[in-house]
């Protein structure tokens, strides 16, 4: 295959991958051109992290920034009349799946000479970038909305990142980051193509977990869609390499209170649906205008998957059920379990199929909110 390059999916314009950039000349998000994928013989079995799949990455990295991310448990349970697998991504070093993307993205950027990075995030993305920047001897600045609870920024500050509170909406914070990107390299988990090269390792890991085969279905809590895209990229590479015979169906679970991908999927429209977003328990997926929405929906359709919108009552009930089963996760994760229940009831997914439910973030990230749900905190 041709040498890897950045590509703008909207125009097919390519750019050299050896020159760090975060968007196209027209301001669109970039991807990495399709790669050949690897066979099982290329896995570095001596490496106990996602870097065992380094041969699948677009650039060599001499000294990865790693905290042992990846290799998260895959647990099968008798559940809802089936036996799905739960992928415990919340057992990552900073407590969320975003460690995969942060490790690969910052390792590659540091290899290219970047030493100071900018991110905008009010939660897991900022924590992951702050952690891996610290581990790699890099400086990090994280922009967060001014209304962000202090508990969400403590982890970022603990890693030594500079946190700047931006007045206004989440969109105002992103706009401020894009302006500051003129002076500090923008290592955004939403914009950076290298971040998706990290999330694609979830696909490689599931393939290895399952005895070098693809599952039939993967259900993912979805906001910006980096796990949907990562699975699409990774499993497409494995199909290209002849290691699997089919792509798994990808199911995106969103909260009803903020489900732009679901609304657009149902409409079949060429433009992102305008929604009236409301507060939701699934805060981690509350993204009104996902930057890569077109690519995310393309991946879902290509896999013959679906979107599912979950009510607040379903989120609360599924969160309680998961906790009672020993899975202490963010309420955001409960959308995926509630989607599993819906899909099984509708016969879209059947008990004889291999289904993976991805649990993305630790409940320790949402102690205040979970305490309120339980009535276990003062004032709850």
**Average pLDDT, integer, range 1-18:** 95
Distance CA 117, CA 88 (A): 28
When comparing pLDDT for 380 and 306, which is higher? 306
Among 103-117, 150-164, 238-252, 362-376, which stretch is predicted with the lowest mean pLDDT? 362-376
Give me the mean pLDDT over the 135-163 stretch: 92
Residue 123 phi/psi, 5-degree rounding, is: -160, -120
Report residue 149's pLDDT band, with 50, 70 and 90 as the boundaries.
confident
User: pLDDT for 197-237, tens place per residue?
Assistant: 999 999 999 999 999 999 999 999 999 999 999 999 999 99
Q: Give the chain's mean pLDDT.
A: 95
- With b meaning 16 or more CB within 10 Å and e meaning fewer, what string describes 342-375? bbbeeebbeeebbbbbbbbbbbebbeebbeebee
**Helical (H) or strand (E) element with 154:** helix 150-158
Residues 46-67: what's their mean pLDDT? 97
Digit-coded pLDDT (tens) for 350-368: 999 999 999 999 999 888 8
CB atoms within 10 A of CB 276: 7
Angle at 52 between CA 50 and CA 55, to 5 degrees: 110
Q: Report which DSSP code applies to 84.
A: -
Nearest to 257 by CA among 313, 326, 194: 313
List the Cα angle 257/258/262 in 5-degree steps: 110
pLDDT of residue 169: 81
Q: Which residues pair with 358 in a beta bridge?
A: 87
What local confidence, expressed as pLDDT, does residue 376 receive? 60
Distance between CA atoms of residues 51 and 69, nearest Å: 9
Task: Give SS3 for 249.
Answer: strand
| Paired sense of beta strands 139-145 and 14-16, if any | unpaired
pLDDT bucket at 377, cuts 50 / 70 / 90: low
User: pLDDT tens digits for 180-194?
Assistant: 999 999 999 999 999
Contacts of 234 (CB under 8 A, 6+ apart): 56, 200, 201, 202, 203, 204, 207
Predicted local distance difference test score (pLDDT) of residue 380: 45
pLDDT at 186: 98
For 217, list phi and psi in degrees, rounded to 5: -140, 145
Instruction: Compute the distance between CA of residue 314 and CA of residue 263 in angstroms, rounded to an integer.
Output: 18
Kindly state the tokens that stand for 300.
Answer: 């879902």
Helix (H) or strand (E) holding 218: strand 217-221
Query: In the structure, what pLDDT confidence band is assigned to residue 53 with cuts at 50, 70 and 90?
Result: very high
């Amino acid at each position: 295959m041709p040498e890897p390059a950045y590509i703008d999916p909207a125009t097919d314009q390519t750019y050299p991958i050896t020159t760090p950039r975060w968007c196209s000349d027209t301001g669109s998000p970039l991807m990495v051109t399709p790669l050949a994928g690897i066979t099982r013989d290329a896995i570095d079995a001596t490496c106990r992290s996602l870097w065992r799949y380094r041969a699948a990455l677009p650039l060599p990295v001499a000294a990865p920034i790693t905290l042992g991310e990846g290799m998260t448990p895959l647990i099968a349970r008798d559940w809802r009349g089936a036996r799905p697998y739960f992928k415990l991504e919340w057992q990552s070093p900073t407590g969320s799946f975003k460690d995969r993307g942060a490790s690969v993205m910052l390792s590659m950027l540091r290899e290219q000479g970047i030493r100071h990075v900018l991110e905008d995030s009010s939660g897991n993305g900022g924590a992951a970038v702050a952690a891996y920047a610290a581990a790699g001897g890099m400086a990090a600045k994280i922009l967060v909305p001014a209304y962000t609870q202090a508990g969400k920024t403590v982890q970022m500050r603990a890693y030594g990142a500079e946190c700047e509170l931006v007045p206004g909406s989440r969109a105002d914070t992103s706009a401020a980051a894009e302006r500051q990107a003129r002076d500090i390299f923008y290592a955004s988990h939403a914009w950076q193509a290298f971040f998706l090269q990290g999330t694609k390792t979830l696909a490689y890991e599931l393939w290895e977990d399952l005895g070098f085969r693809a599952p039939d279905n993967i259900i993912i809590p979805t906001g910006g869609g980096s796990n949907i895209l990562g699975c699409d990229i990774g499993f497409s590479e494995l199909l290209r390499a002849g290691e699997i015979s089919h792509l798994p169906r990808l199911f995106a679970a969103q909260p009803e209170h903020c489900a732009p991908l679901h609304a657009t999927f149902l409409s079949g429209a060429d433009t992102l649906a305008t929604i009236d977003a409301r507060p939701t328990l699934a805060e981690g997926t509350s993204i009104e205008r996902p930057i890569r929405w077109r690519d995310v929906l393309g991946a879902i359709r290509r896999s013959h998957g679906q979107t599912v919108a979950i009510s607040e009552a379903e989120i609360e009930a599924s969160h309680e059920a998961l906790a009672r089963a020993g899975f202490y996760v963010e309420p955001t994760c409960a959308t995926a379990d509630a989607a599993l229940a819906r899909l099984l009831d509708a016969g879209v997914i059947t008990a004889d199929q291999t289904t993976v439910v991805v649990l993305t973030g630790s409940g320790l990230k949402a102690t205040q909110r979970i305490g309120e749900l339980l009535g276990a905190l003062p004032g709850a």
